[in-house]
Structure 1
Amino acid sequence: MKTLKSSGAPLVCWDIYGSFMKDQTNLINKQNDLEVLSYLKKLNRWKTDIHSIVDQVHYDALVLTDTKQEIKWISKGFKQMTGYSIKNTIGRKPKFLQGKDTCPTTLNFIRRMLREQVPFSAKLTNYRKNGEAYHCQINVIPLKNNQNRTTHFIALENETQYNR
Structure 2
Amino acid sequence: MKEFAVYDQMMAQYYKSISTHILPLFSWEFYGEHFSAMSSFKEDLEMLKKITQKWNFDRNYQKELINKKSVIVITNTKLTIVYASHNIEKMNGYTPEEIIGSSPKMFQGANTCNQTSKMVRQAVKKQQPFEVSILNYKKDKSTYVCNIKGFPVLNKRGKLVNYIAFETAA
The TM-score with structure 2 as length reference comes to 0.74
Aligned to 2:56: 47
Map 1:68-107 → 2, pairs under 5 A: 68-107=78-117
The Cα offsets for residues 85-135 of structure 1, whole Å up to 9 and x where unpaired, read as 233211110101101111001001000111111221110011111101010
Map 1:1-164 → 2, pairs under 5 A: 18=30, 26-42=37-53, 45-49=54-58, 52-55=60-63, 58-160=68-170
Query: What 5-or-longer segments of structure 1 have no aligned partner?
Result: 1-12
Q: CA RMSD in A?
A: 2.3
The AA in structure 1 aligned to 2:149 is N
The AA in structure 2 aligned to 1:46 is W
Counterparts of 1:110 and 1:72 in 2: how far apart (Å)?
Answer: 19
Number of corresponding residues: 143
Larger radius of gyration: 1
SS in 2 for 1:32: helix
Q: 2:41–2:86: 8 Å Cα contact kept in structure 1?
A: no
The Cα offsets for residues 52-71 of structure 1, whole Å up to 9 and x where unpaired, read as 23315724311110111100
Residue 76 of structure 1 deviates from its aligned partner by 0.6
Q: 2:132–2:148: 8 Å Cα contact kept in structure 1?
A: yes
The Cα offsets for residues 138-157 of structure 1, whole Å up to 9 and x where unpaired, read as 11121110111111011111
The TM-score with structure 1 as length reference comes to 0.76
User: Cα 1:101–1:141, aligned 2, differ >3 Å: closer, same or farther?
Assistant: same
Identity %: 27
The Cα offsets for residues 35-89 of structure 1, whole Å up to 9 and x where unpaired, read as 11111123xx112135x23315724311110111100011111122111123321
Q: 2:144–2:169: 8 Å Cα contact kept in structure 1?
A: yes
